[in-house]
Amino acid sequence: MKNSFYRTPLTILYSYCPLEICGLYATIFHLKDYNLPIYITSPDKKSNANFISYSDYPPNEILSQVSNKKRLSNARKRDICDTWRQLLEENRNLRLWKSNTLVSAPDDYFDSDIQNVLQCKANSDMLLSIQSRLRSEYHISLNSKYIEWRLKYISKQINTNSRGGNLK
């Protein structure tokens, strides 16, 4: 493996959406014991602010966006490994890129945003509406299963509240 990576170094494509940044951190963590050249690159927000992930680009355009790759220093690799180790120990369901750092967040972190959409819209495109709001507000994309899980929780809380309980 080591010889292969020295001939063709690893380049990791990522964005600041939680799945991709976590993938970047996890990959670097798993390769920590190998002294391999690793390059990283993310979509250039200046060229198109609507694209937050390489998955937003058509396949034939991805290679044209890879021109801004940078080699990770050993110090940066250690920082990433330390952060990932801490996140693994915290073992939370949600991770965010916040203030240029990957952090854990409580499950209810986006609940107020989801509730705002619920109050404004009651239609079949609820999931899409919530994704759009989070994408425009935070410039991220979240897994639809996470949003569905939070919707069920919030709906249950609203039903409890309408029967006389208290909504957080």
Closest by Cα among 18, 53, 24 to 143: 18
Q: Which residues pair with 70 in a beta bridge?
A: 40
Q: What is the full DSSP assignment across 61-101?
A: HHHHHGGG-EEPPHHHHHHHHHHHHHHHHH--SEEEEETTE
- pTM value is 0.66
Tokens standing for residue 109: 């972190």
* Strand order across the 10-13 sheet: 10-13, 38-41, 70-71
Split at pLDDT 50, 70, 90, the class of 113 is: confident
Confidence at 167, pLDDT banded by 50, 70, 90? very low
**Residue 123's pLDDT band (boundaries 50, 70, 90)?**
low
